[in-house]
Amino acid sequence: MKQLIAGNWKMNGSLEFNQALLTALAQGLETAPRAEVALCIPAPYWAQFRVLCAQYPALKGVGLGAQDVSAHPGGGAYTGELAAAMLRDFDCRYAIVGHSERRQYHGETDDAVAQKARQALSCGVTPIVCVGETLADREDGRTFEVVKRQLAAVIHANGPCISEAVVAYEPVWAIGTGRTATAEQAQQVHAVLRAQLMAATARADRVRILYGGSMNAANAADLLAQPDVDGGLIGGASLKAADFLSIIGAARR
Ligand code: PEP
């Protein structure tokens, strides 16, 4: 299975900025990329992405992703929410769930994240389930306990369907800080998550476990070479075409 390199644009972009970024990415992706590529773009720009996909065939293989999805089924009084079925209508292949910024600023609990993953899976959208410890958790020696608790909630709500999900290990202290987990630190946590998945499904080998947290052109090759690192979730560096393309080029074959 190819590694997956997913960009998380967060609340960045504009029509003009996206046009330039996606055009540059299209040029860079003209030769078959080493990895599967996805872009989690703010929803108002999905139509722009589709227009550019029609214009640049190299973008056609890029999976569209949402940055969140509602924990509720479609239809209902949930102002501001996007249902998984709506994502499906727009051919979204992925939806990030449980990003630490959502857990921190929007109070998302493990249970809410599990329900979001469930909604996505029920509509054929692949959830990218984020887990990760804070710096305080790490310093207290609670890294494994925290990530296992976060993943356990999603496994509990989804059973063996977890084999259809993607997991992203994103240490909170590494997101947007320029401070990256070492390849060894990432591998250690990924191996723990893999073992947890193996206890839940016979198909744990097909669950891609991404690393996210200040991955960049300089450190990507080392991180992506680890046996249980199946790709990356990239924030800041996904907003610069050259950096994002370098990360894609660093994927393990
Ligand atoms: C992220 O937001 O998922 C992320 C990994 O951000 P950054 O790469 O900027 O640390």
Which is nearest to 65 in space by CA: 154, 107, 134, 128?
128
Mean pLDDT (whole number) for 233-247: 98
Is the beta carbon of 176 within 6 A of some atom in ligand 1?
Answer: yes
Average pLDDT, the chain: 97
Provide the pLDDT for residue 205: 92
> Which residues are annotated as catalytic?
99, 170
Q: Give percent of the chain with pLDDT exceeding 90.
A: 96
Contact indicator for 98, 130 with CB cutoff of 8 Å: yes
Closest ligand 1 atom, residue 101 Cα: 2
Q: Render pLDDT for 108-125 as a digit per residue (tens, 0 to 9).
A: 999 999 999 999 999 999
Note the pLDDT tens digit of each residue in 150-207.
999 999 999 999 999 999 999 999 998 989 999 999 999 999 999 999 999 999 999 9
Residue 226 beta carbon below 6 angstroms from any ligand 1 atom: no
* C-alpha dist (Å) from residue 94 to 87, 89, 136, 145, 221: 9, 12, 30, 27, 24
The second-level CATH assignment, the architecture, of 4-10+17-68+82-250 is Alpha-Beta Barrel (3.20)
Separation between Cα atoms, residue 142 and residue 157, nearest integer Å: 23
Residues whose CB is less than 8 angstroms from the CB of residue 60 and which lie 6 or more positions away in sequence, other chains included: 53
| DSSP letter (8 states) at residue 73 | -
Please give the average per-residue pLDDT across 122-148, as a whole number: 97
Closest among 201, 177, 189 to 229, alpha carbons compared: 189
Which amino acid is it at 60? K
Contact by Cβ (8 Å): 132, 213: yes
Distance CA 139, CA 134 (A): 9
Distance 172 CA to ligand 1 centre (A): 9
Q: How confident is the model at residue 26, as a pLDDT?
A: 97
DSSP codes of every residue in 153-166: HHHHHHGGGGGG-E
Q: pLDDT digits over 89-106, tens only?
A: 999 999 999 999 999 999
HSE at residue 161, side-chain half, CA atoms within 13 A, is 19
